[in-house]
Amino acid sequence: MSRSLPFQPSDHVKRMEDLLQNNSLVRSLRANPSIYETRLYEEVPAAIRDILFTRRDFLGPGKITFDPLVFINKSLRSLTVIIHLGSDLSGWPGLIHGGMLATVMDEACGMCVRLRLPDQTPVTVQLAVKYQKPAPADEIYVLETKLVQAEGNTSWVEGSMRALGEDVGTQPLPRQAVVTVRSEYRHIRAMAQI
């Protein structure tokens, strides 16, 4: 169970955590010696953890129900995020708001860029999301991102998202590419360390 939750975990959260611990994808990622496991918000410095938009406003019961699991493969410059999106994040009854899908994909892609530039704070310059189909609420999702190109201060990341139970070959919910930059924004990193 994550130590960084700003709320007391409910029985619902505990059941989902149990489901994750026994999931075949989670077990296979954990069995891969090239992959490092963490929780999304444990990687954020404590000084800024509580001011982060997604953690402050969207982590909790009915929203992002538990601190997302993150599996990092540094050699492939890729990562897998496992996240629960609850019904309070719906834009239409029973369906997750498209802006929320874009937000979590953007954060996963930004984290992927940090594999290349660990001392920099990535800032999104362009975010292109192609929505393939609606995302049901109160589901656990798998976000997969990979750094596909890097030139100087710019990185291109591609990502996709699917429900945890769906096969890898299944049509993803959103698929996107993100362009991020680094050195022009060093002052952001310095402010984050205050």
Residue 55 has pLDDT above 50, yes or no: yes
**Selecting from 2.60.40.10, 3.10.129.10, 3.50.7.10, 3.40.50.720, what CATH number does the domain 11-192 have?**
3.10.129.10
How far is residue 155's CA from residue 182's CA, in Å, rounded to a whole number? 9
How far is residue 127's CA from residue 18's CA, in Å, rounded to a whole number? 34
The residue-averaged pLDDT of 83-100 equals: 95
Question: Taken in order 163, 81, 78, 35, is the CA torsion positive or negative?
Answer: negative
Residue 14 has pLDDT above 90, yes or no: no
Domain boundary assignment for the chain: 11-192
Residue 168 has pLDDT above 80, yes or no: no
CB atoms within 10 A of CB 95: 15
The pLDDT-based confidence of 22 (bands split at 50, 70, 90) is confident
The residue-averaged pLDDT of 98-125 equals: 87
**For residue 167, what pLDDT is reported?**
67
Average pLDDT over the chain, rounded to whole? 82
- In the chain, the percentage of residues whose pLDDT exceeds 90 is 41
Q: Are 67 and 40 in contact (CB under 8 A)?
A: yes
